[in-house]
Structure 1
Amino acid sequence: MGPVSLFFLILATPAPLFTAAQGFGYPTANLSTLWVNHDASLPHSVHYKGGLAARPILLHSQSAHYGQSFATGFFCAPPCDMFYFAVFIVRTDRGARIIDGNPQVVWSANRARPVSENATVELTSGGELVLRDADGSLVWSTGRSGRPVAGMVITNIGNLVLFDLMNATVWQSFDHPTDTLVPGQSLVEGMRLTASTSATNWTENQLYVNVRQDGLYAYVASAPPQLYYMLTSNEEKTGNEITKVTFMNSSLCIFLNSTYPDPNSISWPTTTSSQFIRLESDGHLRMHEWDMAEETWPAVEEVTKPKFGDCGFPTVCGEYGICTGRKCTCPLQDNNSSGYFKPIGDPKDNLGCTPLTPISCKEMQHHQFLTLDEVSYFDVNHSFVNATNQDDCKQACLKNCSCRAVNFRRYFEQTETDGHCFWVTKVFSLQSIKLEPVNYKSTVFIKVQVGPSNSAAPSAHSANNSNLILGTTIPAIITVVLLVVAVTIYLQRRRAYYDKKDEDFNFDQFARMPARFSFQKLRECTQGFNKKLGEGGFGSVYEGKLGEERVAVKRLESARQGKKEFLAEVQTIGSIEHINLVRLIGFCAEKSQRLLVYEYMPRGSLDRWIHYRHNNAPLDWPTRCRIILDIAKGLCYLHEECRQKIAHLDIKPQNILLDEKFNAKVADFGLSKLIDRDQSKVMTVMRGTPGYMAPEWLTSQITEKVDVYSFGVVVMELISGRKNIDNSLPEESSNLINLLRGKARDNQLSDLIDKHSEDMVAHQEQVIQKMKLAMWCLLNDGCQRPSMSTVIKVLDGARSIETAILHRFHDINSAMSVQDTSAYSVKAQASVLSGPR
């Protein structure tokens, strides 16, 4: 091996220069050093192919030859609007300069809360490493240890260390692992690796591995956690030493009876950074190794190897999904009943299944089991039930509402009355054993909720009484007809009475309702409806205060005009909750008064920030990206995660509200429509706002894809900083979507970028990718538009857009639009609700 020289970077705002700490010889930083996350402040920033960016503040480089090196600093993945303070592997040349080469993050301080441009990290005079966002808010810190800190160092094995005057470790990143191990790094009892949600979303998911006394265990989080893999040692533990699992010699080594040395005191080979082990989002613990020829990090070894391969991982088919040779299906009883579960989203995405009727602990008398023969469950290491036969096993689960399923196993050498029973409180992926070589018989019983009339199969007694049933059919029919007539007459009289008296609604029909307020209470909280925030098609919005909480009170000015819309909003948003949907706090239905109480959104509606009606500064590109993603997540929840699909039908900037940090939430559900999961289309009267309505409104047959079209329009307004239809502009430019079609055909998309924002012009390539996503959403044929879950995958970088799809948008012959405003049930200005709510 040639001589090794060490290189460190001075990348900071004015502060004391770095000095090499005696005894380390590694790149170090002194106290009172501040770094700003900005290209100008960090001149050694590197922008990689594919959109990655690294802004190192310390680098440990093997400058004598090309190779893998460790750096710490700011790192971002496409679209690079948010950053992580991280340790990452980079490639360097002989001049100790970082070169292209697929960098890999091996540790992150703020995976749950990325920061923006101009965030700072500071090694304070008190010896604390502190990360703050651009607005000065504290994001993460090492905390004060009580021991004096002399400086910070990045070691040759990728450990970020705060050390004292004696060069002893005060704090180190190795004590706080995220999802990755590098050679020389150990997990000890009390530490864990937690998988990320996806390759582009680094927030923690429910899969993790930790160390116990005899080895490494992999779990999926639930109450209690469920084990899906373990790696144990044949050695017997004899003392009180802490068990550790160390990544060395290209494998994980378990040490039960040895002391735990400081990894920084070991002289590891300089080439060890060409490998790492990562717990990935699917639960696989894989070792990756640098491939010089391909310049990639392929997985070269699988550490976790469950008995049933991929089917042995708890999330391979999502919750309740059954894995058979990597194919996922929802549970069916005897392969002939589909009335209990439905797939989540597109079945091809393997997102799992959800019960059609959720389990209710208040109706335990209606709990029954779906029987799945030749099906097993991955976790058989906890929650054993003291039951040796199948009936006792099932009864034990029925008596405990927290039990969601039981697995009864009988090994072939056991008698018919013997077996093992265990239960789970949360059902993850199951696995078929029809084609597996096993030495036991396994049946899974999944608890389902049925109604009083939906009980199990008919009894033998009822099957033998067909003559009795036939004999009572005619009187029953007559009785039903008379009852229907009587009920119809009653309802007609009742409806006429309420039309005259306009009494309170009967809200008992709703299973979940928000708080109900008196009109007097809301009059007081708004100080007599004194401060108006905005106006909409069915009323006005006023600022109020309930206790210490600021609220927005929407008052319907005409109860007759807004009754249907009022019911729609209470029924729809009152039963759902999502971080990207405006929260309905309560309502008032008193005589002719109809009011809705929402959470207060201090930044108001999106239109005021992108149409520049208030002389506001332009939003920066990261904020616009986050708003787009927030809207997509809110719509995805409505379309794919509720019991019934909810089509909003009026997506536009005025109905997107922003909180203090510009997080976006979808609002105003007055025009929404519930769609059953088994409906491909629904007939409904035309409703919405001109310019945001999809072409299929002309047929009055719509799906939730009309919201996808409106989302595409909003994305283009966010990007261009103008209204979709602006009659103050020349005729050829007045319609934004027609203009987009022409610019796309002429390859001049950059002309549409909001010129108010220099930041967007600087991110032109990323902006154009968002335009292409909008074009996909704006296709004339609703069936060809993406689902909102697919939109999120594109925004996260997990999916690309096919060129052929964009050509369909370019074709002007396929272009249709809804322009006849006289046909709208809501006029152009009717549903506008600008300003904070």
Structure 2
Amino acid sequence: MDHRASTIFRLVDRLLSCVFLIIIWSDCSCHLVCSNRDVITQRTPLRDNRETLVSAGGIFELGFFTPNGTSDGRRYVGIWYKFSPSTIVWVANRNNPLVDPSGVFSVRDGNLHVLNERTGSSLWSTDLGISRSANQTVMLLDSGNLVLIEGTEKGESLWESFQYPTDTFLPGMEIDANLTLTSWINKDDPGRGDFVFKVDDRERDIHFITMNKSIPYWKSGDKIPISDKIPDIVVNLLTKFNSATSNPNSTANKPFKKDDYNGSRLVITFDGYIQYHNWVKLQKSWQLIWWEPTDRCSIFNACGNFGSCNATNSLACKCLPGFKPSDPEKWNSGDFSGGCNRVTQCSKNDTFVTVKLMSAGKPDSEGYQTDDETECMKECLRSCPCKAYSLQAAKNTSLRRGDSSTSTRSCSIWLEDLRDLQEGYADGGLSLLVRVLSSDLEGNIQQPPEDRSPTKGTSFLVIIVSIVPCTSYLVNLESIRSDQRSKELLKLDTQKRINYLINSAEFEQEDGESIDVPFFDFESILAATDGFSDANKLGQGGYGPVYKGIFPGGQEIAMKRLSSASGQGLQEFKNEVVLIAKLQHRNLVRLRGYCVQGEEKILLYEYMPNKSLDSFIFDDKQSMLLDWEMRFNIILGIARGLLYLHQDSRLRIIHRDLKSSNILLDQDMEPKISDFGLARIVGGKQTEANTSRVVGTYGYMSPEYALEGLFSVKSDVFSFGVVLLEIISGKRNTRLVQSEQLSLLGYAWRLWTENKVLDLMDPSLQGSYKEDQYVKCFKVGLLCVQEDPSDRPTVPSIITMLDSETAAIPTPQQPAFVLRRGSAIASSSSSKPETIAEITATLEEGR
């Protein structure tokens, strides 16, 4: 009996084990099915608990997300690529986020809703009206389209996300007068931003426009001659692969097919760029194929009315001859939006000047065909509102006057203010004759003799004057040749660049995560730098030379070419790509792309026309251009960039090589921290680390790093203090102060103890400095370079002290200054063994 009972117990135990395993398997299977479903019904909503929809082919995914991992907890419903989760292509409740993880995405009353389950309120809906039917299905398709269907999969489509995009255009959409793309507010906020991309409904042909609020920001058309600004592959995408509506100026040998667009997207960025990207599987990254505006002159009417823009000129804008800035103060400060105006209005003493190699907005009248320039000029002079005319190659559709059999040109008239003028136009441009008063030219023309030809039959004296000097003309021609050469390369574009990516697949992040930085092929870089010519060399960095390159459209880029002779260069190269790809701040230099081919490893940065900070503050002439207000703003800008690195970015980053030559200045003299080759990421709340290999630049390294290899956020604070004192003094810390045998820090400390702080000031600041701000900067600089890291302020407290009128500033202690005796480095307050740190080379010019 006992044996029989024991057997029964064993059988029951095994049976229960099997049942338990079946339950566990069923639960797991259900979980797997639920987490990978591609539909929502009224009975099966989607909750904010890591549950997502995945399209049938596993291409797109829908769920709740927080933008870029921001810490404020805002939650949105969005669609992203399954293979690139950080690339959001659509957002439902973009202007009304959830503030806690209580969201539900569901069907209710015949509409799709984003609900707050805790309060029951709807944050977003399809707004189709109330339906009594409870049989709706929501499905995520492999195209990225989210559809609300009446009934099952083959039912009537009630609503589609493709008809209501956010900032991204996907293959299968079709842009028309009712469909627009609206940018995010910024990279962390998907709310409706300032920029809108749409069809330009004022144009007869297919043209597109980007609006900045209510102001045109960029146009694909509105040029004379009309430029083919959008490549065929993009036009075909926007018109849903319909070759019949493709660009009329198309040079494509065959129509594009839908399969050509797998992994493609068009996006309007928060800062106004319209970009076309393509996903390269082997590289696991997005390649930027095309973008606009390509340079500052591509921005619509960049120099205002009657102002001409030249992308190859650092000053960019100038007024037409006979015109002056409408607001000289703003114009001189770099704000050209007000444009120019004519001093004297319409007059009988008007004449014309010829402006060559330019593009302009469309004329108000494309009148009639004629080869008689005098007749065209008269047509303009008859009307006071006429601002300019041009005799261009005739179009077949032009109206004709007189005998047209031999007429090859057409007279075009501009009645409104001249807008969107560009010099150095690569496709031939036009000769625009601008109407001015002779006396307004201020001696730029010669008066002709009094006698006139009676056969001309006009009472007006017309003088045609070329205002383009020979040297400028040659520069423009060279720019055109370079641009045309680059355009030839661009014709190869998509497939050739993809082939380069496939051949260069050796480079990827160590953690396998995709790098959202465009790849550039080596041949296009050679063309942009004219084969790395010496004329384009900007300087020599620690790991190789830096060159200026010009891409199609005049886009200027700085390229750091990694030296093959550098033993540690590859790691620093990868470091910069991975780091800067994740960093976006106005005071950090932006990485535009990278290139890997064989031994060639190249980083592409935004070009800084004003070079580096040290080229200004240490030069007797250039320093005169930096008044106190500009220097103070540069100091604050550097501090804000450091704050982002140390605290506000997704990573906690220590730069380790902050110095004056690594602070670049853009066209507005805004400072940008550069050169992240030596930067280090520290995890979580970690604020310090150590290294067995000390690298950096003598004069900017903190003593604990130089002597012990310990680095922290306070190491960057020390370097910032040195840079701050250099900015206000105009003296290098790496050189002894004349006759003092002291470093800059030692000299500053001595002046502090003697109550002579004004003696440190750069003489060029006399007359522009504010004494309270100067003394504040002096004290903060000394606080930053104190020997004990714990005594140095944090970057947030530095910004508070500098930017606040009431913040208390502690009394600084003796800094860790050094003396130079021969070639040795000696600490003034440390008895530890000397360590000679590796010195990194510094670029003396802008990148």
| TM-score in terms of structure 2 length | 0.40
| TM-score in terms of structure 1 length | 0.41
The structure having more radius of gyration, on CA atoms, is: 2
